[in-house]
Amino acid sequence: MYFPKALTCLISLLYLSTSVLASLRITADHHSFGGVNYPSLQYLEPTQRDEVIQAIVNSNARVIRLFIRGDKYGPDPETGLGIFNHNTLDQFDDILAAIYRIGKGTVKVIIAPHDAHALRGSNDVLCDVYCEHINEAFLDFYSNLENRKLYKDRLTHLFTKYRSKNFNGATWNTLKDVIMGVDLQNEPWSGVWPIVAGEAWLCDIATHLKETIGLGANNIAVITGGLSGPQMPGGTQNFPDSAFECDAIDVIAIHGYYAASAETSAGTNWANMFLPGNTLTSRALGKKLLLVEEMSYIKSVNGIHYKKAEVWDQGNALNYRGIPWLYSKVTTEGEGTSSNINILFASRFAIGALKDVLTRAFASRSNFDWSRFLAAPKVGLSNLTHLALNPFIPNQSPCTFGCPGWLCDAADGCEPDLVCRNSVCQKPDEKTLGFVGKECDGHRKLCHENLQCIGGVCEECTARETREEDKELGIKAGSISGTCSVDDPFRMRPICQYCDKSAKECRGNPCLSAQHCDADEYCDWGVCKTCTSGCLGMSCKSSSKCKTGYCNVFGKCDYPKKPKRPMRPEDYTGRRGPGSRGGLKQGPSRPMDNVVRVNIPKEGVIETGGPVATATGAK
């Protein structure tokens, strides 16, 4: 088991010093929250249904995401185009009433009124009436105006024509006390990116929900629902420009499935995706709300024994970034090696970790104000003293603290040969100065702040001694349960001094460019310094105004980098695909003669540069 020397002084820093506050920590006074997906909750028997809802409420989840679709548990309510079985809708209405009754109004729902997987009968979702109508021409659902009208009719019937049996005949579009938001669909264009046909569908459906159906007037959020399916690290699948540009969209929902690896924790991709001040968060702040609508455990190289640790790690990363999240999914069935978590199991199972991190989410802070759609709980916001350590790391773990990819909030939060950059423990760039073993002189050749210069070489910090009181109790040096003595400058070598960067007292780490510094810093004559203008995410008109070196196409300061080339529209053959050179005759909406079948890769662990959807014309 590994305990870095710097861990010896971790606890004492937390209690004896105010200098551990990290500049990337969320300080706004808005609540974040956590929740769960339970796609077929309405089909449980009433007694078990209420037991499940009570367990979810007890877990401190604030939101439950529900689906209206056909699967092995029950049918879709739309039995024919425009024809609805109100008995099925009554079942769904019962679940809304039960959640409101048991949760006493503190728990709300998100409704996915349709599932893109139903368009092709995939992911255990039954092929529905739209699937039969489009005859496997998947993209036609989005590009064809007749199909769009049929789908609008579905939404209109669900939210304005059906009369609730439990809420005195009210229509669902008025139930703001129980419904937090409505998705456009679950994973529109699932597996297809960029959106190759009918992108106007996105804002058209959002406007229909917000204005025609009236969700906006009743403070019910319009949510994108995970555009294009699972998000790839570094991609823009779930948040294309069209989502930001549509005024009718309130919430951009992100779906992602990430496994731990030798170089990353399960939460690393989430911490990187929602870095405060990066392009995504800076574009959204004040304009859109960001929600991780689906995140889940994915079996990693570590094995199933790490499930609790890796579930908790993802929730902890999102709590630290102030981004609300929903786990996908909870169930009352067996788990096996799957990502499912049985909500009724004892706490020694994965549900124990999920409950723990949901409770932390209950009081977590966010830069985004959700109060219009979900009232703040009657508890105070969490303190800002430190990043919580994962309590579910198995004893057999080769590393228990500060490995590559682990979250950190201070220089001593990582192994000595790593640096804490943008809240993640990372290997230092070989081109930069200052890491273990590099030459130093304490003046021009500096060491990283978590190291010291001894004899012209950067070395690890000197460990603080354990307090005498702890020694008497038998607590060994380096134990996470102990505290450390205050430094004695007359008896100890100089140790690394950590400071509060917001107080501008830090010397800063050595650097060659802004990419070697935290997101709220810039590189000034070889040292990282706090940035107050021209910083990452700030508005700009030219790159000369950005201390990070680059003004991107969104008018935000960014790191200079070679832009990635996404899959081009012409790489697809679509029935109405703008830019589809092989099939278009005249104009972007000219239909091809062949039916389009889209092959979607099975959802799983997402890696940068992984498989994308392909479309092939049938002969």
DSSP string, 181-226: EEESSBSTTTT--S--S-THHHHHHHHIIIIIS-TGGGT-EEE---
Domain of residue 536, residue span: 511-561
3-state secondary structure 333-354: CCCCCCCCEECCCCCCCHHHHH
Q: Closest Cα to residue 55, out of 40, 70, 43, 41?
A: 41
Question: Is a pLDDT exceeding 80 seen at residue 478?
Answer: no
Q: What's the pLDDT score for residue 176?
A: 97
In a domain, 83, yes or no: yes
Report the share of the chain in percent with pLDDT over 90.
Answer: 54
Q: Do residues 517 and 492 both lie within one domain? A: no
The dihedral formed by the CA atoms of 223, 227, 229 and 235, expressed in degrees to the nearest 10:
-120
Q: What's the pLDDT score for residue 567?
A: 43
Residue 2 CB neighbours (<10 A):
13
Q: DSSP letter string over 395-454?
A: TT-S--SS-TT-B-SSGGGS-TTSEEETTEEEPPPTTSS-STT-B--SSSSPPPTTEEEE
Q: Which amino acid is at 460?
A: E
Question: Is a pLDDT exceeding 80 seen at residue 584?
Answer: no
Q: What's the pLDDT score for residue 483?
A: 61
576 vs 274, which has greater pLDDT? 274
413 vs 100, which has greater pLDDT? 100
Question: Is a pLDDT exceeding 90 seen at residue 331?
Answer: yes
Q: Do residues 535 and 391 both lie within one domain? A: no
Q: What's the pLDDT score for residue 435?
A: 81
Q: What's the pLDDT score for residue 506?
A: 65
Q: What is the rounded distance in angstroms from the CA atom of residue 110 to the CA atom of residue 108?
A: 7
Question: Is a pLDDT exceeding 60 seen at residue 15?
Answer: no
Rounded to an integer, the average pLDDT of 63-75 is 97
Rounded to an integer, the average pLDDT of 496-524 is 73
pLDDT in tens, 32-44: 999 999 999 999 9
- Helix and strand numbers, DSSP H then E, in the chain: 13, 24
User: Which position has the token pair 């790839």?
Assistant: 232
Q: What's the pLDDT score for residue 477?
A: 55
In a domain, 56, yes or no: no
In a domain, 404, yes or no: yes
C-beta separation of 433 from 513 below 8 A: no
Q: Do residues 194 and 265 both lie within one domain? A: yes
Q: What's the pLDDT score for residue 327?
A: 98
Question: Is a pLDDT exceeding 90 seen at residue 486?
Answer: no
In a domain, 72, yes or no: yes
Question: Is a pLDDT exceeding 50 seen at residue 153?
Answer: yes
Question: Is a pLDDT exceeding 70 seen at residue 452?
Answer: yes
Q: Do residues 390 and 241 both lie within one domain? A: no
13 vs 394, which has greater pLDDT? 394
Q: What's the pLDDT score for residue 277?
A: 85
Confidence of residue 91 (pLDDT cuts 50, 70, 90): very high
Q: Do residues 438 and 516 both lie within one domain? A: no
In a domain, 575, yes or no: no
Q: What's the pLDDT score for residue 1?
A: 32
Q: What's the pLDDT score for residue 588?
A: 33
- Among 308-312, 383-387, 482-486, 516-520, where is mean pLDDT lowest? 482-486
Q: Do residues 166 and 218 both lie within one domain? A: yes
Structurally, how many domains does the chain consist of? Answer: 3
The CATH number of residue 120's host domain is 3.20.20.80
Q: Do residues 83 and 110 both lie within one domain? A: yes
Confidence of residue 481 (pLDDT cuts 50, 70, 90): low
Q: Do residues 98 and 8 both lie within one domain? A: no
Measured CA angle at 569 (ends 567, 571), to 5 deg: 65
- Among 24-33, 141-150, 230-239, 480-489, where is mean pLDDT lowest? 480-489
Q: Do residues 462 and 319 both lie within one domain? A: no
468 vs 164, which has greater pLDDT? 164
Question: Is a pLDDT exceeding 90 seen at residue 83?
Answer: yes
Q: What's the pLDDT score for residue 464?
A: 59
Rounded to an integer, the average pLDDT of 260-286 is 92
In a domain, 250, yes or no: yes
CA distances from 14 to 317, 357, 412 (A): 20, 21, 12
Confidence of residue 466 (pLDDT cuts 50, 70, 90): low
In a domain, 224, yes or no: yes
Q: Do residues 200 and 66 both lie within one domain? A: yes
pLDDT in tens, 175-209: 999 999 999 999 999 999 998 777 899 999 999 99
Q: Do residues 424 and 524 both lie within one domain? A: no
Rounded to an integer, the average pLDDT of 320-324 is 95
Q: What is the rounded distance in angstroms from the CA atom of residue 397 to the CA atom of residue 416?
A: 19
Q: Do residues 521 and 491 both lie within one domain? A: no
- Among 82-86, 121-125, 522-526, where is mean pLDDT lowest? 522-526
In a domain, 572, yes or no: no
Report the share of the chain in percent with pLDDT over 70.
Answer: 79
Question: Is a pLDDT exceeding 90 seen at residue 442?
Answer: no
Confidence of residue 526 (pLDDT cuts 50, 70, 90): confident
The backbone region for 474, taken as left when phi is positive above 0, alpha when psi lies in -120 to 50, beta otherwise, is left
Confidence of residue 25 (pLDDT cuts 50, 70, 90): confident
Across the chain, what does the average pLDDT equal? 82
Q: What is the rounded distance in angstroms from the CA atom of residue 310 to the CA atom of residue 303?
A: 10
Question: Is a pLDDT exceeding 60 seen at residue 230?
Answer: yes
pTM of the full structure: 0.82
Question: Is a pLDDT exceeding 80 seen at residue 134?
Answer: yes
